[in-house]
Amino acid sequence: MTRRPVGIVMNGVTGRMGSRQHLIRSILAIRASGGVPVGDGQVIWPEPILVGRSADRLRALATAHGLERWTTDLDQALAEADAEVYFDAQVTSEREKSIRAAIEAGKHVYTEKPLAEDTAGALDLARLARAAGVKTGVVQDKLFLPGLRKLARLVEGGFFGRILSVRGEFGYWVFEGDWQEAQRPSWNYRAEDGGGIVMDMFCHWQYVLENIFGPVRSVQALAATHIPERVDEQGVRYDCTADDAAYGIFELEGGIVAQINSSWAVRVYRDELVEFQVDGTEGSAVAGLRNCRIQHRAMTPKPVWNPDLPVTEDFRAQWAEVPDNEEFDNGFKAQWELFLRHVVADAPFAWDFLAGAKGVQLAELGLRSSRERCRLDVPELSL
């Protein structure tokens, strides 16, 4: 096997997503498994160049993983002769200007979502990239979750008949930081720093709904800030200026109604942190991160509403587990491999900046719908 090296400037790599999912579980995992095969005896060999704000943290991260290339100077990293790809996992508010610099330097760009803080900014980046002739990609990791892969398989196989509705429940309790340390960074709860659950999760719901069921045609949302004050990483109290819960209704092409609750102020009484129930004329499914259960029309019980009697059926026991039937790799790694093949061998890649802009658009419209107390159509985006 010959190695085809690809220099990847990885910015924001000391953060939660940058270090765990992208550096360790994707790029280093790809190297540990021998690279990404592209035929002709070649493997793509990612060469990470770490970028961040703190020299100490970068040095420590590089040393821990046997890497030598790191810098606090983005321009210097972009000027490296072998750097072909720029990757961004910084806080959302820092993303747009860095991606702009990377495109101007002629790099292909792969980025965490949301692509930008508003639709205009996201489309602007998509247009810039097209004009510069560079390839683009946005992380859409939820599509690679085993539970959702099985759900997509059921849709493709026609299991549901006519799909009527999708009910999603996402969330968990994020500690306020006073009594127990918060398990999410504080910027998530400040609008001025790009936080908010609508901006965070509607980007995900947009591509999940579009890729599995059909494009979103309208949105109606109510965003709330249930916890008004939290304590940050330094132990200092701050005002929460961003939404921490969103109750959204989405109309999809073909008349499917999707209703998704997203919350960082909910306690989990579910099997998984996210679950989607899909009801169709022929059958229903409940999919989580890993598992997916189904109930066919022929196996559907006929409960009769009578609150005077105790429950007569074990409803949960009436569902059957969908088998894996394949091996599921880490979703972030799987998408990285596709993007690297796209860069090196021109393999198809569906989740470009235009796809990323649609996520930002849905989040922006969701916030507007909440502010204006109305339902909004989702216009088609084009470059």
Distance of CA 137 to the CA centre of its chain: 12
* Residue 334 interacting with ligand NAD (CB under 6 A): no
Query: Count of alpha carbons within 13 Å of 383, Cβ hemisphere only?
Result: 16
* Binders in 187-216 for ligand NAD, by CB under 6 A: 187, 200
Candidate segments 1-9, 43-51, 84-92, 286-294, binder of ligand NAD by CB under 6 A = 84-92
Q: Which residue has the tokens 């910015």?
A: 11
- Cβ proximity of 134 and 261 under 8 Å: no
Distance (Å, rounded) from C-alpha 58 to C-alpha 200? 26
Distance (Å, rounded) from C-alpha 173 to C-alpha 171? 7
Closest CB 157 distance from ligand NAD, rounded Å = 27
* Residue 96 interacting with ligand NAD (CB under 6 A): no
Put residue 47 in one of left, alpha, beta given phi > 0 → left and psi -120 to 50 → alpha: beta
Candidate segments 89-97, 164-172, 221-229, 253-261, binder of ligand NAD by CB under 6 A = 89-97
Binder of ligand NAD out of 35, 52, 146, 359 (CB under 6 A): 52
Cβ nearer to ligand NAD, comparing 94 with 251: 94
Question: Which residue's CB atom is positioned nearest to ligand NAD?
Answer: 15
* Residue 248 interacting with ligand NAD (CB under 6 A): no
* Residue 283 interacting with ligand NAD (CB under 6 A): no
**CA R_g for the chain:** 22
Distance (Å, rounded) from C-alpha 99 to C-alpha 91? 13
Cβ nearer to ligand NAD, comparing 77 with 154: 77
Candidate segments 8-16, 76-84, 124-132, 300-308, binder of ligand NAD by CB under 6 A = 8-16
Binder of ligand NAD out of 91, 101, 128, 249 (CB under 6 A): 91
* Residue 62 interacting with ligand NAD (CB under 6 A): no
- Using H for helix, E for strand and C for coil, what is the string for 48-79? EEEECCCHHHHHHHHHHCCCCCEECCHHHHHC
Closest CB 204 distance from ligand NAD, rounded Å = 7
Helix (H, G, I), strand (E, B) or coil at 4: strand
Tell me, by CB under 6 A, how many residues bind ligand NAD: 20
Binder of ligand NAD out of 47, 84, 96, 112 (CB under 6 A): 112
Binder of ligand NAD out of 6, 7, 10, 14 (CB under 6 A): 14
* Binders in 132-161 for ligand NAD, by CB under 6 A: 139, 141
Distance (Å, rounded) from C-alpha 271 to C-alpha 47? 39
Nearest to 79 by CA among 107, 43, 39, 44: 107
Q: Which residue has the tokens 């390839």?
A: 135
Footprint on this chain of ligand NAD (rule: CB under 6 A)? 12, 14-18, 52-53, 89-92, 94, 112-113, 139, 141, 185, 187, 200
